[in-house]
């Protein structure tokens, strides 16, 4: 159940009740693709850095260790010892980006595993079965993530098929939730809006999926090659037709500036691999902009990564030490960098929520949107 607590312009302050706790929104979900954060952060670490929702991947967990094994181990929460909300994405994006020799039909998608090449089939029912076995709090519908640019005719046909798949997802998950042995009978289904950058196609698709009265809705298929302005325009076009009493999720986005602008356009949920991936390469977010900790100018710098940050790394270690770890190829470098960046993103969302509680989100937006994305 989603509760909209207040608005400032299109920006929304709310909360979502799930079987594993209440999520304060807007929120950034920390991405643990294979039930772990790349960068050696554990579930215990995620609590320390303020993570509200962990996101795992249906495709990867189906291939390894196998969703039935996770089910036998008591579900994903118990398996990774995380007692807060989990969202699982449907596997659609990975199938269309990672898998080779895929063949799309009305039934679903046949593809080869990127791990060992074996033949796999996944459709709406299979995706829901896997996610039901994992027992996440939010399951994402199975959809086709359309490449940008794509011909309009193909986009329209794909959106029609994604709608039909969504109807099947809803029926399948309802059936799994009703079983006596359901891992998480309160699991919610979010539908996904597609349509590339064709605003009218996006709007029509959004209108259709809104009629299904799902617990939440996502805008998918962005951050895949379009410009930032095209992304913002797409969000703005679709937002008007998204149910006001349901959470909105912008999939795979993005930079701190993207997130602030997404919030300004009515988005509640975000996720992105960027803070962890960039951190592993030494690119660290601060409240004054982005630094490359590998730069020589930090060789003797006794300051923390960000003097304004109170993450576990900044409380104790210097830029000089973190730089040394990277130069020495120590595993600890990645752990520190990822921990700092994810803490920064979680704190960013906390500050956004606070600015809305205090009716000064627009001031926050004008101060930080460009600054946080600037390399210094």
Res. 100 pLDDT band, cuts 50 70 90: low
Residue 233 annotated to the active site: no
Q: Which of 228, 69, 58, 56 has the alpha carbon at shortest distance from 142?
A: 58
Check residue 260 and report its DSSP letter. Answer: H
User: Residues 119-167: pLDDT tens digits?
Assistant: 889 999 999 999 999 999 999 999 998 888 999 999 999 999 999 999 9
Burial tier of 257 (Cβ tally within 10 Å: 0-12, 13-18, 19+): middle
Is 90 exceeded by the pLDDT of residue 97?
no
Q: What is the CATH number of the domain that holds 25?
A: 3.20.20.105
Is 251 found in the same domain as 213?
yes
Is 340 found in the same domain as 296?
yes
- Alpha-carbon distance of 262 to 124, in angstroms, equals 28
**Mean pLDDT, range 224-248, rounded to an integer:** 95
Catalytic residue among 137, 143, 268, 271: 271
DSSP string of 135-201, one letter each residue:
T-SEEEPP-----SS--HHHHHHHHHHHHHHHHHHHHHHHHHHTSTT-S-TT-EEEEEE--TT-HHH
Is 288 found in the same domain as 245?
no
Last residue of a domain, one of 225, 253, 272: 272
Is 335 found in the same domain as 193?
no
Is 90 exceeded by the pLDDT of residue 223?
no
Q: Please count the structural domains in the chain.
A: 2
Is 90 exceeded by the pLDDT of residue 27?
yes
Residue 89 annotated to the active site: yes
What backbone torsions phi and psi does residue 113 show, to the nearest 5 degrees?
-60, 135
Is 316 found in the same domain as 268?
no
Is 361 found in the same domain as 260?
no
User: Residues 68-91: pLDDT tens digits?
Assistant: 999 999 999 999 999 999 999 988
Last residue of a domain, one of 254, 272, 290: 272
User: Residues 201-221: pLDDT tens digits?
Assistant: 999 999 999 999 999 999 999
Is 336 found in the same domain as 231?
no
Is 70 exceeded by the pLDDT of residue 46?
yes
The per-residue pLDDT for 165 is 98
**Mean pLDDT, range 261-275, rounded to an integer:** 98
Of the listed ranges 93-107, 128-142, 190-204, the one predicted with least confidence: 93-107
Contact predicate 113/63, CB 8 Å:
yes
- The rounded percent of the chain whose pLDDT value lies above 90 is 91
Is 300 found in the same domain as 229?
no
**Mean pLDDT, range 302-306, rounded to an integer:** 98
Q: Residue 330: give the domain boundaries.
A: 279-373
Is 284 found in the same domain as 219?
no
Is 90 exceeded by the pLDDT of residue 310?
yes
Q: Which of 80, 82, 12 has the alpha carbon at shortest distance from 52?
A: 82
Last residue of a domain, one of 230, 251, 272: 272
Catalytic residue among 89, 137, 143, 268: 89
Is 299 found in the same domain as 268?
no
Whether this prediction's pTM lies above 0.75 is answered by: yes
The per-residue pLDDT for 99 is 64
> In this structure, what token pair is assigned to residue 333?
């470098």
Is 286 found in the same domain as 267?
no
Is 328 found in the same domain as 222?
no
User: Residues 316-373: pLDDT tens digits?
Assistant: 999 999 999 999 999 999 999 999 999 999 999 999 999 999 999 999 999 999 999 9
């Amino acid at each position: 159940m989603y509760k909209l607590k207040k608005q400032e312009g299109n920006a929304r302050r709310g909360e979502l009740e799930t079987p594993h706790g209440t999520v304060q929104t807007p929120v950034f979900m920390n991405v643990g693709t294979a039930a772990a954060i790349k960068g050696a952060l554990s579930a215990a670490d995620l609590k320390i850095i303020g993570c509200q929702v962990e996101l795992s991947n249906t495709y990867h967990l189906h291939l390894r260790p196998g969703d039935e094994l996770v089910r036998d181990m008591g579900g994903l929460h118990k398996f990774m010892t995380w007692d807060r909300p989990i969202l699982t994405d449907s596997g659609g994006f990975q199938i269309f980006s990672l898998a080779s020799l895929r063949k799309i039909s009305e039934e679903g998608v046949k593809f080869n595993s990127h791990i060992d090449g074996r033949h796999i089939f996944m459709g709406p029912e299979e995706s829901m079965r896997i996610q039901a076995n994992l027992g996440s709090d939010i399951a994402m519908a199975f959809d086709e993530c359309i490449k940008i640019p794509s011909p309009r005719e193909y986009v329209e046909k794909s959106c029609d098929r994604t709608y039909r798949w969504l109807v099947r997802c809803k029926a399948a998950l309802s059936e799994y939730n009703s079983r006596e042995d359901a891992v998480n009978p309160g699991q919610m289904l979010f539908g996904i809006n597609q349509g590339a950058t064709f605003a009218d196609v996006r709007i029509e698709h959004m209108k259709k999926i809104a009629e299904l009265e799902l617990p939440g809705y996502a805008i998918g298929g962005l951050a895949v090659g379009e410009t930032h302005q095209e992304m913002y325009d797409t969000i703005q076009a679709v937002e008007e037709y998204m149910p006001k009493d349901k959470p909105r999720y912008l999939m795979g986005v993005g930079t701190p500036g993207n997130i602030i602008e997404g919030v300004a356009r009515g988005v509640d949920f975000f996720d992105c691999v960027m803070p962890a991936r960039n951190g592993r390469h030494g690119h660290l977010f601060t409240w004054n902009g982005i630094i490359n900790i590998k730069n020589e100018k930090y060789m003797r710098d006794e300051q923390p990564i960000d003097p304004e940050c109170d993450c576990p790394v900044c409380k104790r270690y210097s830029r000089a030490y973190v730089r040394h770890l990277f130069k020495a190829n120590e595993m600890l470098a990645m752990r520190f960098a990822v921990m700092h960046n994810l803490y920064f993103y979680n704190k960013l969302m906390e500050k956004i929520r606070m600015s809305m509680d205090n009716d000064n989100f627009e001031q926050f937006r004008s101060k930080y949107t460009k600054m946080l994305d600037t390399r210094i």
